Chains A and B, each alone.
Chain A
């Protein structure tokens, strides 16, 4: 069974930053993720491939092994994303309204999803990465802890999302103002 904890952690942290720093910060983060992916994608983006080819030509052969190259790219991308998060958390401004915070949270979740897709593709798209046969699926279903077909498993991601919604809702509660009626008119 896939471990969803790293994925849930990324989503929750990203949503929290969105909640605290609003939609504008998340726009910046989307740009950083997209730029970082174009430059350093572990799977090999066009830009990364071109740079690599040029470097190899200059060096007269492959300079680093494929596995090390992938690990290095992932690590560098992770460092850039973490640095951006840190800067946004420290230097960003608060959203102006609850709506801004809500949009920021949703955008943060989307960004978290993007980050997870880049860094943890096996957690999100296991079926695409490891195609399984009907027989393998049957064996997987018989393993202890696997839900029977038709049963609904509440993932940590859903629980985290519900918790965030509850926190947002509670923060949106305004202090009660007593109705003074015509007290000052008389």
Chain B
């Protein structure tokens, strides 16, 4: 497999095309849902995981967070929850803004930009959690460290390191805009 950052860029471009097809009013709804998902994961993800560990640890005869597969389990938890929320946001109407994008190149550009932003948020979050838990999927042969220089330079620009302090602000703002448009 090639460099991780290439896959990241490719996914952003794919999502930009998805945005062109779906239109940015729907994509803005997905952006809101993704930001809500990120807020849930950053604010309560760790607490939920610890709660699960405390409950299931008794049944399984030991803490799974202290075991050899701790990183894999944590990554699976965060990514599973995040991908499920993203799937729900793309599946239905959810928080989609009603209406059509403006016609012509301006509308297409706005669709593509919003789609690319969603791609950046989704693939960037997946990369962030893989990096945080030391790429536990490497046993599948999908990725072999070390990261390239470019990938290491890009890590601080992933969505969560940048947006984490402002997630609540963005979520509230988008919901307000959705309600009072």
One of A49-57, A77-85, A131-139, A172-180 at the interface: A172-180
Q: With A169-B110, A169-B114 as known contacts, state yes or no: A154 contacts B163, CB within 8 Å.
A: yes
Interface size on B, residues (CB 8 A): 25
Q: How far is the CB of B149 from chain A (nearest CB, A)?
A: 12
Contact with A along B37-49 (1 / 0, CB 8 A): 0000000000000
**Contacts of B165 on A, CB cut-off 8 Å?**
154
CA distance A163 to B176 in the complex (A): 11
Query: Is there a chain A Cβ closer than 8 Å to B166's Cβ?
Result: yes
Query: Is there a chain B Cβ closer than 8 Å to A150's Cβ?
Result: yes
One of B79-87, B96-104, B140-148 at the interface: B96-104
Contact with A along B143-181 (1 / 0, CB 8 A): 000000000010011000111011001000110010001
Determine the residue in chain B with the shortest Cβ distance to A165.
Answer: B113
Find residues 127-178 in chain A having any chain B CB closer than 8 Å to their own CB: 150-152, 154, 159, 163, 166-167, 169-177
Tell me which of B101, B102, B166 contacts A159 (CB under 8 A). B166
CA distance A148 to B165 in the complex (A): 16
**Contacts of B169 on A, CB cut-off 8 Å?**
159
Query: Is there a chain A Cβ closer than 8 Å to B25's Cβ?
Result: yes
Q: With A151-B161, A152-B156, A154-B162 as known contacts, state yes or no: A172 contacts B101, CB within 8 Å.
A: yes
Determine the residue in chain B with the shortest Cβ distance to A169.
Answer: B110
CA distance A163 to B174 in the complex (A): 9
Query: Is there a chain B Cβ closer than 8 Å to A98's Cβ?
Result: yes
Query: Is there a chain A Cβ closer than 8 Å to B15's Cβ?
Result: no
Q: Are the CB atoms of B173 and A173 closer together than 8 Å?
A: no
CA distance A163 to B169 in the complex (A): 10
Q: With A152-B162, A154-B162 as known contacts, state yes or no: A170 contacts B157, CB within 8 Å.
A: no
Q: How far is the CB of A88 from chain B (nearest CB, A)?
A: 25
Q: With A151-B156, A151-B161, A159-B169 as known contacts, state yes or no: A174 contacts B177, CB within 8 Å.
A: no
Contact with A along B6-41 (1 / 0, CB 8 A): 000000000000000000110010000000000000
**Contacts of A98 on B, CB cut-off 8 Å?**
102, 106
**Contacts of B181 on A, CB cut-off 8 Å?**
170-171, 173
Tell me which of A166, A169, A177 contacts B100 (CB under 8 A). A177
Determine the residue in chain B with the shortest Cβ distance to A102.
Answer: B106
Q: Are the CB atoms of B110 and A152 closer together than 8 Å?
A: no
**Contacts of A167 on B, CB cut-off 8 Å?**
177
Q: How far is the CB of A57 from chain B (nearest CB, A)?
A: 56
User: Chain B CB within 10 Å — which of A171, A173, A175 has the most?
Assistant: A173
Determine the residue in chain B with the shortest Cβ distance to A167.
Answer: B177
Determine the residue in chain A with the shortest Cβ distance to B100.
Answer: A174
Using CB atoms and an 8 Å cutoff, list the residues of chain B in contact with chain A.
24-25, 28, 97-102, 106, 110, 114, 153, 156-157, 161-163, 165-166, 169, 173-174, 177, 181
Name 6 extra pairs, CB < 8 A, besides A152-B157, A166-B177, A173-B25.
A152-B161, A154-B162, A154-B166, A171-B181, A173-B97, A174-B101
